[in-house]
Amino acid sequence: MNLLTNLLYWISTAFLIPVIVLLLFIFIRALISVGILYGTYLHRIKFTRNWDEFTNSISNKFFDSSSDTTIAGNIDFSSCIQNLIGCQWHSIHSEKIISDFELLCEKKLMLSKTFLRIGPMLGLMGTLIPMGPALVGLASGDIASMALNMQVAFSTTVIGIFIGAIGFVQMMIYQRWYSQDISNLEYLYQLSQEHSPSKSKELD
């Protein structure tokens, strides 16, 4: 029994360094993603302004020509519009293009979801692993060793929660942006159906 418990203790303790290294790596990556989020926010401000101007100037020609439809501030959205025009707003192809855009948005959310889930997990592991050596130090009267291990435990907890908080905030913001993009695409698709030749004949 002692052999098994000692084996479990050694295995769990061996995870401490990899957990700390991985936690620091994700922490740095999360900080970089904050900068990317700020840059994206500036682009979204520009895109919102251009989108309002774009919707106010939509005409029948928009749905029938392959003229430049780039909306500054959102490359993926503009590319999707060009694909929709390229397929002449055919219903089946249009639904496929919009679905692919939704999958692309979901893929972009994976990093934020990773921060949200992995950060607290690693923080919890970094908290629990040093607790064993800390209790051993307490039992043997080695207060310095116990204090060091407790410091590591609390530090990893804070960093893990911070990473999770970054992931949560980013996911909320990106989800709102992507939902708005999908809504805009569906709006354009509905307009295209109103401007389709068959629809125009019916109205005549």
- Whether 164 is covered by a domain: the verdict is yes
- Whether 76 is covered by a domain: the verdict is yes
- Whether 203 is covered by a domain: the verdict is no
Angle between helices 75-86 and 91-108 (to 10 degrees): 160
- Whether 6 is covered by a domain: the verdict is no
Question: What pLDDT shows up at residue 67?
Answer: 52
Question: What pLDDT shows up at residue 65?
Answer: 53
Domain that holds residue 152: 17-195
- Whether 4 is covered by a domain: the verdict is no
Q: What is the pTM of this model?
A: 0.81
- Whether 202 is covered by a domain: the verdict is no
- Whether 11 is covered by a domain: the verdict is no
Question: What pLDDT shows up at residue 58?
Answer: 66
Distance of CA 120 to the CA centre of its chain: 16
| Contact criterion met (CB below 8 Å) for 188 and 84 | yes
- Whether 123 is covered by a domain: the verdict is yes
pLDDT < 70 stretches in the chain = 1, 57-70, 72-73, 195-204
Residue-wise over 19-30: b if at least 16 C-beta within 10 A, else e?
A: bbeebeebbeeb
Angle between helices 91-108 and 110-128 (to 10 degrees): 30
Question: What pLDDT shows up at residue 130?
Answer: 87
Please count the structural domains in the chain.
1
Query: Which segments within 63-109 are labelled E, that is strand?
Result: none
